[in-house]
Amino acid sequence: MANQYSKTKLEKFRKAIEKKMGSVSEEVDSLKEGLSAASNKQGGVTPDSIFSVHMADAGTDSHEQEKNFMFMNRGSDYFKNLEIALERIAEGSFGVCKICDCLIPEERMMEVPNATKCVSCKEKEKLGLT
């Protein structure tokens, strides 16, 4: 069997991941509220009338909405990756490099809990050496 973290360390990772999931969830909810408030603000006004009155403001609002939507999607994807990390904790494969089967350093797993490769294997992969 591959190297594994102790049950104590896995519990520490689980708690840290759940904490991150809470903050990501709050951020995504906040962005959703902002997006719905922005769409309600435009109410029954047609896009033509917005542009005829404040074209620059409408462009800024549109850009901000797109940015918030992108951040919301990124947050949702990260949340899903954290859920997968919790599944890996439950099955015992958390913190084990998928390529070399070595234990990924604890510092990396605390910073990037959804990591599935050690730094060395990830760098080789980026360089196309694997």
pLDDT of residue 78: 93
What SS3 class is residue 45?
coil
Q: What is the mean pLDDT of the chain?
A: 83
- For the four alpha carbons of 52, 53, 56 and 57, in that order, the dihedral sign comes to negative
Write out pLDDT tens, residues 43-95: 444 455 455 556 666 667 677 778 878 888 888 899 999 999 999 999 989 99
pTM higher than the cut 0.85: no
pLDDT of residue 57: 67
Tell me the domain boundaries of the chain.
7-94
CA distances from 50 to 56, 58, 65, 103, 120 (A): 10, 6, 15, 56, 53
